[in-house]
């Protein structure tokens, strides 16, 4: 099985990669289109040059890796993807060949967290429109993508991960609930900038509190993102 997990930034995505990576039967990959995204957009993300040097930027080669032999001879392959990395000229036909899961987080939480690390946010930076587009593409192809909410996972990690495994047709594995501190061998080179909290963790963080207030300059951005979030939230796994 190949699982493509689609999220935006600051969305429990690294913890989910660690969770699946803790299983003996899964290989994992960390944001395989990130270098391509930076090269094509020219965005000045932290460690831009190092990221581009660390990964393939030929999208055909990247897709070949995603659909080709799985590393270490593992039977399953977990792919951590950022929706905003899927630029219009990056092929998307391959996604119908994998199992697709959409990982949600409320836009207010994403904006509040991401803006601390990256200034001048736009709607294109946080992935909500692209997440909607990818979901719609799969539905048009006759697929039924799985939707899961990071808020629910943090409230009840075992219950939600069991439900996710059931939806995917996977056996439950309790090793998904914990991992060693210090990161994962599959971490991208950018982990030293973005992954400090999860590197210091041994499992999912506790339940999230009330929604944070966003800064005045991000109120319009929040209004733009919320409809995309709410339409997928209605379809999420519920216990």
pLDDT in tens, 119-136: 778 899 999 999 999 999
- Distance of alpha carbon 30 from alpha carbon 34, whole angstroms: 9
Domains of the chain: 2-233 (3.40.50.300)
Backbone angles phi, psi at 126, to 5 degrees: -105, 0
- Both tokens of 189, joined, read 């080179």
- Distance of alpha carbon 28 from alpha carbon 129, whole angstroms: 25
Q: Compute the CA torsion angle 224, 132, 41, 212 (nearest 10 deg).
A: 40
Closest CA to 180 of 3, 72, 21: 21
Specify the pTM.
0.95
- Distance of alpha carbon 186 from alpha carbon 21, whole angstroms: 9
- Low-confidence residues of the chain, pLDDT below 50? none
pLDDT per position as a tens digit, 40-80: 999 999 999 999 999 999 999 999 999 999 999 999 999 99
Closest CA to 45 of 120, 104, 130: 120
């Amino acid at each position: 099985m190949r699982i493509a997990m689609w999220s935006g930034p600051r969305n429990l995505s690294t913890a989910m990669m660690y969770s699946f990576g803790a299983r003996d039967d899964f290989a994992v990959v960390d944001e395989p289109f990130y270098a391509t995204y930076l090269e094509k957009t020219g965005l000045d993300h932290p460690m831009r040059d190092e990221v581009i040097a660390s990964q393939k930027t030929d999208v055909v080669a990247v897709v070949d890796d995603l659909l080709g032999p799985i590393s270490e001879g593992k039977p399953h392959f977990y792919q951590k993807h950022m929706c905003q990395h899927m630029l219009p000229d990056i092929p998307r036909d391959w996604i119908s060949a994998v199992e697709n899961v959409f990982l949600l987080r409320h836009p207010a939480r994403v904006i509040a967290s991401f803006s601390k690390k990256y200034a001048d946010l736009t709607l294109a930076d946080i992935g909500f429109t692209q997440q909607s587009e990818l979901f719609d593409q799969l539905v048009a192809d006759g697929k039924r993508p799985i939707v899961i909410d990071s808020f629910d996972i943090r409230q009840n990690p075992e219950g939600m991960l069991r439900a996710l495994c059931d939806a995917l047709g996977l056996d439950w594995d309790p090793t998904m609930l914990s991992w060693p501190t210090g990161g994962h061998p599959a971490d991208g080179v950018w982990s030293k900038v973005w992954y400090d909290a999860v590197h210091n963790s041994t499992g999912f963080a506790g339940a999230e509190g009330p929604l944070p207030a966003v800064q005045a300059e991000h109120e319009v951005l929040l209004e733009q993102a919320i409809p995309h979030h709410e339409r997928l939230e209605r379809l999420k796994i519920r216990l």
